[in-house]
Amino acid sequence: MLDTALSLGAAFVIGLFIFYVYQKTYSGVLYSRSFNVSLVAILLVTTLVISGVTSNVVLSLGMVGALSIVRFRTAVKDPMDLVFLFWAIAEGILCGASLLPLALLGCPVLGIFLLIFANKQQKDNPYLIIIRLIDGDAESRIEGFLRKEVKKMQLRSKTVNGGADTELIYEIRPNDSDSNFVNVISKIEGVESAVMVSYDGNFAA
């Protein structure tokens, strides 16, 4: 009972740390608190399962058979979510196997790594700028202006609707957090509207 209590206590503390790291490093569109809470629950459940498996050989065989028929069909949209899922499961296995020094040592190492590199990636997120033109001749003026205002730009889509109406979608990386250049673009002659949205490579927000 004492070993189980220590394992569950350590798992709960580690789960709170994973909860905090996920909250701080999340860079998706909509933060899911339920998924973050489920990481802590998965860690605790895994700890209980491994504690039972290590204490009884017959139970371990039955547990393997039971888990082999389980199928998880929930789609994971962000690859980073998979990292946190495996992290929670790995910590649960270590805590359930009473390898607490290894679990406590690996937890801050992974947490610091994710905090440093995930936050660094967020500072240089790309954006999509969607520009609607009523005059096709304005395209060259817009491209020239954007090249001066952003570090990098690339045309992602160009749609021409019959007449002179044109929609341009550029992937850009601004020099800083200033977005005033969007206001300037919207005032260029021949531009109907200009919209800038965040972009993570999979979907826009």
The DSSP code sequence of 106-160 is HHHHHHHHHHHHHHHHHTT--EEEEEEES-TTHHHHHHHHHHHHEEEEEEEEEEE
Averaged pLDDT, 146-154: 84
Q: Is residue 34 part of a domain?
A: yes
> What is the per-residue pLDDT for 75?
66
Q: Which domain holds residue 172?
A: 127-198
Residue 172 lies in a domain: yes
Does a structural domain hold residue 203? no
14, part of any domain:
yes
Least confident of 11-15, 129-133, 147-151, 199-203: 199-203
In this predicted structure, the answer to whether residue 121 has a pLDDT above a threshold of 60 is no
What are 46-57's pLDDT values in tens digits?
888 888 777 666
Token pair 């809470």 is at which residue?
37
Residues 96 and 190 in one domain: no
Question: How far is residue 189's CA from residue 185's CA, in Å, rounded to a whole number?
Answer: 9
Domain boundary (96, 122, 148) is at 122
Res 177: pLDDT: 65
Residue-wise pLDDT for 13-34, tens only, equals 999 999 999 988 887 667 788 8
How far lies 199's CA from each of 39, 67, 169, 172, in Å?
26, 38, 12, 10
pLDDT tens per residue, range 74-102: 666 677 888 888 899 889 888 888 888 88
Q: What is the pLDDT of residue 159?
A: 84
pLDDT of residue 60: 62
100 and 30 together in one domain? yes
Whether residue 184 sits in one domain with residue 160: yes
Residues 33 and 105 in one domain: yes
Q: What is the pLDDT of residues 175-205, one digit of tens each?
A: 776 678 888 888 888 888 888 887 655 544 4
Question: Of 70, 92, 122, which residue constitutes the final position of a domain?
Answer: 122
Claim to verify: residue 49 and residue 145 sit in the same structural domain: no
Q: Do residues 95 and 23 both lie within one domain?
A: yes
Number of domains the chain is built from: 2
Query: Are residues 29 and 117 located together in one domain of the fold?
Result: yes
- The verdict on 137 and 38 lying in the same domain is no
Is position 59 within any domain? yes
- Say if residue 173 is in the same domain as residue 82: no
CATH of the domain at 172: 3.30.70.1710
What is residue 70's predicted lDDT score, i.e. its pLDDT?
A: 57
Domain-located, residue 204:
no
Residues of the chain with pLDDT > 90: what percent? 7
Where among 92, 122, 152 does a domain terminate? 122
Give the pair of three-digit tokens for residue 17.
């740390």
Looking at residue 15, its pLDDT comes to: 92
Give the pLDDT score at 20.
Answer: 92
User: Tokens at residue 103, please?
Assistant: 């679990």
> Both 54 and 137 in a single domain?
no
User: Is the pLDDT at 71 greater than 70, yes or no?
Assistant: no
pLDDT above 70: percentage of residues in the chain? 78
Q: Give the tokens for residue 90.
A: 């790995």
Please tell me the predicted confidence (pLDDT) of residue 203. Answer: 46
